[in-house]
Amino acid sequence: MLKQDLQQKLLQKLSPLQIQTIKLVELPLMQLEQRIKKEIEENPVLEEESEIEENEDGKEESVEKEEKLSLDDYVNEENNIPSYRLSAGSSGYKDEDERRDYFAVSPKITLRQVLEEQLAFRYLDNKQHSLGLFLIGSMDDNGYLRRDLTSIADDIAFKLNVETTEEELEEILAVIQSFEPFGVGARDLRDCLLIQLRNRTRTEYSEVAEEILNHYFEEFTKKHYSKIISKMGIDDETMKNAINEIVKLNPKPGAAFDSMYSEQAGYIIPDFIFELKNGQPELNLNSYNMPELRLNRNYVNIMANYAAKQNDAPSKEKEAAMFVRQKIDSAKWFIEAIRQRRITLIDTMQSIIGFQQDYFSTGDESLLRPMILKDVAEKSGLDISTISRVVNSKYIQTEWGVFPLRHFFSEGIQADSGEEVSVREVKRIMMECIENEDKRNPLKDEEIVEILKEKGYSLARRTIAKYREKMNIPVGRLRKEL
């Protein structure tokens, strides 16, 4: 039996402005600049503020080149406005898959391109050249050939319809292993290091280094130097110089080569700039290439003229006006979202500075207090998810360096005195202990526990091991040096 009911529900829905603001808040400065440029290109109503200069009377006026526009520019019998341009949120693309990001991309040279160029200069027949190209294409990003040659020969027969043998592939691989960067085409780490040693300028310790890699590689990786010295019958000085030969080699030759051509070679543009002026903190958002945005006056005038005669306007003109209205609304939302982003970022950063006031007054990292996202959310009155978006991928420039905002967050531990201190302070003490340890007899985790206990921090050994792993510090046995 069919029955009609009335129900009342409370639903939380985000407005287009809120959605736009959330997306913009999490963007770092460089991506925000690209997003603004893309929006300006897609929305004709949105434009940058014109430059200001003085006229003959000494008054400031905007310098702009305006073109007279009217709804007739959007009404044409031969080119009617399609319905997809009038849908809310549409950017004028027939298919969402046809969208393109307007990002400037610099050319990047890959390891594969460099190896193929060197292969082209070798005197090889067509079959050998094809086999070389296939082997180069089978390498990973670090330059290693991880697959066995039998499987590669089967792939070549299937994909290229070329019969080859493992021996023939070995010959071509030997040619590739002579290419720069030295070490590419290796099967494993030992093979990679040996290839580099053979192609380097020989020294009096090169032969000893090769013997260590060939016959005592496992002992070398575990730093059982005393065993190697005993078995090879060499002295400590010879062993030390041979190890220095090995540690100069690159375990990832392909990755190191590509990093030289990285499109973003570690450049960081801070989102905030913090300064102490006369002892007073001053925080600013980094404007960089951020343009001031406004609505194009021509389109605003179009709507004003249409409003005056909308009752008598033909249907085509009404459709065009609807399109212009949607673009104006979209531009207003975007401008307001940018404004809300600035407010949110400043409020969040000021709350962080207020919480870490001692640090920002002196730059002393030991004064950083334990702080989590919840603390900043309570101080700023913003939601934790908003704080997380602001903190992610953002940087601040201070007088002591450029830091990610995550740098100021850490958990707290209880000291023996009852005072809550940052985990960062414990890690700092651990780092000092490890830097000053006897490299011939490195500190064990149990010994670090005792040192921290003497300083008033009672921590379990597994906690110390966890902190050490997070700091990318190996265990004491692997830190051993001669």
Q: Do 284 and 177 have their domain in common?
A: no
44, 298 Cβ separation under 8 angstroms = no
Residue 54 within a domain = no
Q: What is the 3-state secondary structure (H, E, C) of 43-108?
A: CCCEEECCCEEECCCCCEEECCCCCCCCHHHHCCCCCCCCHHHHCCCCCCCCCHHHCCCCCCCCCC
Lowest mean pLDDT among 62-66, 188-192, 247-251: 62-66
Please, what is the average pLDDT of the chain? 79
Higher pLDDT, 348 or 29: 348
Q: Which of 209, 228, 259 is the last residue of a domain?
A: 259
> Whose structure tokens read 């780490």?
189
Can you give the pLDDT at residue 127? 92
pLDDT tier at 79, thresholds 50, 70, 90: very low
Lowest mean pLDDT among 101-110, 233-242, 347-356, 379-388: 101-110
**What does the pLDDT average to over 119-141?**
91
Residue 2 within a domain = no
Q: Is 413 helix (H, G, I), strand (E, B) or coil?
A: strand
pLDDT tier at 44, thresholds 50, 70, 90: confident
Beta bridge partners of 395: 404
pLDDT tier at 93, thresholds 50, 70, 90: very low
> Which of 389, 367, 390, 387 has the alpha carbon at shortest distance from 378?
387
* Res. 87: pLDDT tops 50: no
Residue 277 within a domain = yes
Return the sign of the alpha-carbon dihedral for residues 253, 255, 256, 260: positive
Q: Do 286 and 232 have their domain in common?
A: no
Cα–Cα distance for residue pair 264/262, rounded to 1 Å: 5
Cα–Cα distance for residue pair 317/325, rounded to 1 Å: 12
Higher pLDDT, 260 or 45: 45
**What does the pLDDT average to over 391-411?**
87
Can you give the pLDDT at residue 317? 67
Residue 255 within a domain = yes
Q: Do 404 and 289 have their domain in common?
A: yes
Number of structural domains (the chain) is: 3
Can you give the pLDDT at residue 369? 85
Can you give the pLDDT at residue 94? 39
* Res. 381: pLDDT tops 80: yes
* Res. 27: pLDDT tops 60: yes
Q: In the chain, helix, strand, coil percent, each to 5? A: 55, 10, 40
Rounded to 5 degrees, what are φ and ψ at 478?
-85, -5
Q: Which of 388, 409, 430 is the last residue of a domain?
A: 409
Q: Which of 242, 259, 276 is the last residue of a domain?
A: 259
Lowest mean pLDDT among 137-141, 296-300, 361-365, 451-455: 296-300
Higher pLDDT, 223 or 314: 223
* Res. 47: pLDDT tops 60: yes
Cα–Cα distance for residue pair 133/124, rounded to 1 Å: 12
Lowest mean pLDDT among 77-86, 131-140, 302-311: 77-86
Q: What angle do CA 287, 292, 296 make, to 5 degrees?
A: 165
351, 376 Cβ separation under 8 angstroms = yes
Q: What angle do CA 476, 478, 482 make, to 5 degrees?
A: 95
Instruction: Compute the residue count for the chain.
Output: 482
The H or E element that residue 353 is part of is helix 315-355
Can you give the pLDDT at residue 169? 93
Lowest mean pLDDT among 61-75, 141-155, 434-448: 61-75
**What does the pLDDT average to over 31-41?**
86
**What does the pLDDT average to over 186-212?**
91
Can you give the pLDDT at residue 172? 93
pLDDT tier at 95, thresholds 50, 70, 90: very low
Q: Do 120 and 31 have their domain in common?
A: no
The CATH number that applies at residue 430 is: 1.10.10.60
* Res. 89: pLDDT tops 70: no
Residue 105 within a domain = no
Q: How do 395-398 and 272-277 pair as beta strands?
A: parallel
Lowest mean pLDDT among 184-198, 289-303, 326-340: 289-303
pLDDT tier at 86, thresholds 50, 70, 90: very low
* Res. 393: pLDDT tops 70: yes
Lowest mean pLDDT among 138-142, 307-311, 421-425: 307-311
**What does the pLDDT average to over 172-192?**
92
Q: Do 286 and 398 have their domain in common?
A: yes
Q: Do 245 and 358 have their domain in common?
A: no
pLDDT tier at 314, thresholds 50, 70, 90: low
Can you give the pLDDT at residue 201? 85
**What does the pLDDT average to over 115-124?**
90
Residue 57 within a domain = no
pLDDT tier at 133, thresholds 50, 70, 90: very high
Q: Do 124 and 225 have their domain in common?
A: yes
Q: Do 288 and 380 have their domain in common?
A: yes
Q: Do 238 and 300 have their domain in common?
A: no
Residue 351 within a domain = yes
Q: Do 197 and 153 have their domain in common?
A: yes
This model's pTM is above 0.85: no
pLDDT tens by residue, 265-284? 457 788 899 988 887 888 98
Domain with 380, as residue range(s), is 16-49+66-89+268-409
**What does the pLDDT average to over 83-110?**
40
Q: Do 371 and 430 have their domain in common?
A: no
pLDDT tens by residue, 321-359? 777 788 888 888 888 888 898 999 999 999 999 998 888
pLDDT tier at 459, thresholds 50, 70, 90: confident
Residue 58 within a domain = no
Q: Do 404 and 416 have their domain in common?
A: no
Beta bridge partners of 420: 414
Can you give the pLDDT at residue 410? 80
